[in-house]
Amino acid sequence: EKAGYDHFMLKEIYEQPKAYRDTMGSRISADHKQIVLEEVQMTKEQIQDIHNIHIVACGTAYHAGLVGKTVIESLARIPVETDVASEYRYRNPIITPNTLVIVVSQSGETADTLAALREAKRCGARVLAITNVVGSSVAREADDVIVTWAGPEIAVASTKAYTSQLIAFYLLGLYLAQTLETQEAGAIADVIQALEKLPEQVEAILAEAEVVRDYAERISKHEHLFFIGRGLDFNVAQEGSLKLKEISYIHSEAYAAGELKHGTLALIEEGTPVIALATQEMLFEKTVSNIKEVAARGASVMGLAIEGDDELKKSVDELFTIPKTLPLLTPALSVVPLQLLSYYASLARGNDVDKPRNLAKSVTVE
């Protein structure tokens, strides 16, 4: 059932182009200009009445929600907060009938996420679920459901579920924008066009999957490392860091690159590996200067940038690139080399890749 792959995780990483295509599927109009979300029953008036959005989830799904915040805010101009479910439900959040609460859960059975959903409904909010399991508890209890068609995810470390959650957020952000007319029709069509290119761009990254292997083997000998980035790169860094910790047991921390000098820089020593994401055009120069800061203190830096941004080569020890896309869509590409990096690091350490110690696939206890 691993279809020739050594591990479910690797199989699921390779299933991502299909997961992207299936999740977009019939949700893009035949003329490629509009999003069709038939499963979202909210009327135009109800969408116009949304004052704010809360995205609530755990773990990797929370990391997808961090990207979702930027996606929805920039496309639909609705204020969004993203919270970890186990915090949200106990912090007496301000939920009104004009709040849309979006819960994100691969399994649809995570106890804290389900409890947050119930708390949101009790306060009169509408709840939209993004889930991978049709008929799960979260799917049954939410008002609207967007199913991510990633197919069953077996490995404990989430890969294709995360990326299809990103696709769901792009579709939803565009749908809200087109309903609220916060973007011109041409701008929406441009994003859709870029979105439709993602599956083949992921295929191109996967065709060269082995390029990160050497570097993964090198970091597998370390006990601590950092991921840094700004904006969406920071959110992908958070996911990359979780993935690495979860299956390789290497301690790592994801840091907003601009925060380094407020304390963390003290931890950089000769040889400390730093994985720096620099895919955001607007933030590129700023990130490069943070890379120089860590390199000057002896860090061994792996850069992740957009194809053609060779300028970074001068400041890093290793440079990996991803194909060019819109800045908003880069997370759907940049996370893939990081998934591969943790896979190969876990393998190099001889760990049980698919079943990391202490963890369960579905966390149904609080």
Question: Which positions touch ligand M6R (CB under 6 A)?
Answer: 58-61, 105-107, 110, 113, 156-158, 242, 246, 362-363
Give whichever of 110 and 290 is closer to ligand M6R, judged by the CB atom.
110
Q: Which two tokens stand for residue 290?
A: 């943070």
φ, ψ of residue 208 to 5 degrees: the values are -115, 30
Q: Which two tokens stand for residue 58?
A: 């755990």
On whether the CB atoms of residues 230 and 304 are closer than 8 A, the answer is: no
Render the burial of 315-338: b for 16+ CB within 10 Å, e for the rest. bbebbbbbbbbebbbbbbbbbbbb
Q: How far is the CB of 200 from ligand M6R (least distance, A)?
A: 25
| Closest residue by beta carbon to ligand M6R | 59
Which candidate in 33, 245, 324, 361 is catalytic? Answer: 361
Give whichever of 237 and 288 is closer to ligand M6R, judged by the CB atom.
237
Q: How far apart are CA 279 and CA 330, in angstroms?
A: 7
Give whichever of 67 and 257 is closer to ligand M6R, judged by the CB atom.
67
Q: Is the Cα torsion angle 285, 288, 292, 293 positive or negative in sign?
A: positive
Specify whether 361 is catalytic. yes
Give whichever of 84 and 348 is closer to ligand M6R, judged by the CB atom.
84
Q: How far is the CB of 235 from ligand M6R (least distance, A)?
A: 14
**Beta-carbon count within 10 A of 2 CB:** 13
Q: How far is the CB of 173 from ligand M6R (least distance, A)?
A: 20
Our measurement of the distance from residue 342's CA atom to the centroid of its chain's CA atoms, rounded to an integer in Å, reads: 15
Single-letter code of the amino acid located at 263:
G
Give whichever of 138 and 302 is closer to ligand M6R, judged by the CB atom.
138
Give whichever of 114 and 294 is closer to ligand M6R, judged by the CB atom.
114
Helix H or strand E encompassing 268: none
Largest CA distance in the chain: 58
Which residue in the block uniquely carries the two structure tokens 């011109």?
A: 184
Non-local CB neighbours of 305 within 8 Å, separated by 6+ positions? 277, 278, 279, 284, 312, 319, 320, 321, 322
SS3 80: strand
Q: How far is the CB of 122 from ligand M6R (least distance, A)?
A: 20
CA-atom Rg of the chain in angstroms: 20
Single-letter code of the amino acid located at 365:
V
Q: Which two tokens stand for residue 141?
A: 């209890």
Q: How far is the CB of 332 from ligand M6R (least distance, A)?
A: 17
Q: Which residues are catalytic, by number? A: 361
